[in-house]
Structure 1
Amino acid sequence: MDLIRYEVVFRSKLYENTIKKGMFGVLASQKIIYKKPLRMFKKFDITLKLEGSDDKWVYHRQTFKQNNQICAIGFTKAGFWKNKKAQSMTEILMNSDPDYEMKPPPEKVLFMFENDYLTLKNGR
């Protein structure tokens, strides 16, 4: 799941507006739902879709297909940090693509990540 996200960074202006400026990508959380096993050492296709973003995080959906069948769907919450601080995703995205229209993530995506900090706090 990491490789496709970084491929997007390196093949776009995101690289100039993040990595070159000393920022590094942080994966805050990820969820994956398996429908069928992905067969080891067999070719599969993965698509990355931007679900939305807020000022701190960007949310992606990643769909894994093998033999034209969906095997798994993953969701990630990621951002960029510098000097121990989260950087503005709004600013990064607008600098990388001035035509980009900010789109908030759907409620169902936010809901998946809603209890992450509570889980960490309670140690469960």
Structure 2
Amino acid sequence: MNLIFRLLAVILAAWWRPRMRMNETSELRFRVWPLDLDLNLHLTNSRYLSLMDLGRTDLILRSGAWKEMRRQRLGVVLAGSALRFRRPLAPFARFTLATKLIGCDERWLYVMQVVSGPDGLACTAVMRAAFVKKGKLVPPEPVLQAVSPGFGKEALPAWVAEWAEVEAAFAE
């Protein structure tokens, strides 16, 4: 139940927080609550993914992408993720979630998300997402240009391209 309150807080805070471009970093601060814990008494793996949804929501709202998505009647879907857990987050620990769009290709948006706690890096993730309309993928670059004019289609880091190849192997 506490996720709905966190979602509402992110949505409401987005109205007052500074606007940002799609290629800037969104930062959200959270605390590990008892309902976030697993049997090992640290932040459960599945909660990281739920919280990362909130980071992407903040980026979409504050960049103005949500307005453009509504205008074009687009949705956004997560198509893949790769996470690496480094350190546990203990009960009541404060932590920061940083979310940044690292680039796109003809079909996909690639988003890097980093969770840092009191002892340093806790988790890193890369997500692959897409804009969709009526069940079909929409090229991301025109949408990104409408939201952040001048958004460049920089070359993706080599490791992202390699990860995308591994993801494609799952489709076979």
* TM-score, normalisation: structure 1: 0.87
Structure 2 residue aligned with 1:99, among 150, 154, 164? 150
Counterpart for residue 60 of structure 1: 111
CA distance in 1, matches of 2:94, 2:129: 26
Pair 68,37 (structure 1): closer, same or farther in 2 beyond 3 Å: closer
- Two-structure CA RMSD over aligned residues (Å): 1.6
Amino acid at match of 1:25: V
**Which consecutive residues of structure 2, in runs of 5 or more, have no partner in the other structure?**
1-51
Structure number with higher helix proportion? 2
How many residues were matched structurally?
A: 121
What percentage of aligned pairs have identical amino acids?
24
Indicate the structure with greater strand content.
1
Match of 2:132? 81
Q: Which position in structure 1 is the counterpart of 2:4?
A: none
Contact 2:74 2:132 in 1 (8 A): yes
Q: Which moved more, 1:1-10 or 1:32-41?
A: 32-41
Q: Which residue of 2 aligns with 1:115?
A: 166
CA gap 1:48/1:68 in 2 versus in 1, 3 angstroms? farther
Higher relative contact order (CA 8 A, sep 6+): 1
For residues 34-62 of structure 1, the C-alpha deviation after alignment (integer angstroms, 9 at most, x for no partner) is 11112344321011122211121111111
Given candidates 4, 11, 18, the residue that maps to 2:69 is: 18
CA contact (8 A) 1:29 1:113 kept: no
Counterpart of 2:89 in structure 1 is 38
2:98 equivalent in structure 1? 47
Q: 1:99 to 1:120 in 2, by over 3 A?
A: closer
Q: Secondary structure at the match of 1:102?
A: coil
